[in-house]
Amino acid sequence: MKSNDYVKFMTQQLVTYMELPSEERKKRKLEQKNPSIYANRWLGVLPFALRVMRKKAE
């Protein structure tokens, strides 16, 4: 992919984003900020590893 293609793609994305109403942009931004799971945020990968081990044991 040439850099020209990349610039063209980014320009198209920017224009489509700017044409959206501000309410739609705010709604999208809030959807992307889903709160993470409490256990994962505070304890890291440990809860995930325990869940995987428990599923394998079953």
CB 18 within 8 A of CB 10: no
**Statement: residue 28 has pLDDT above 90:** no
pLDDT of residue 14: 94
Rounded CA gap, 25 and 29, in Å? 6
* Structural domains counted in the chain: 1
**Statement: residue 42 has pLDDT above 80:** no
**Statement: residue 37 has pLDDT above 80:** no
What's the average model confidence in pLDDT over 22-38?
Answer: 80
Rounded CA gap, 25 and 19, in Å? 10
What's the average model confidence in pLDDT over 6-33?
Answer: 89
- Structural domain including 20 reads 3-57
Which residues does 28 contact at the CB level (< 8 Å), separation at least 6?
20
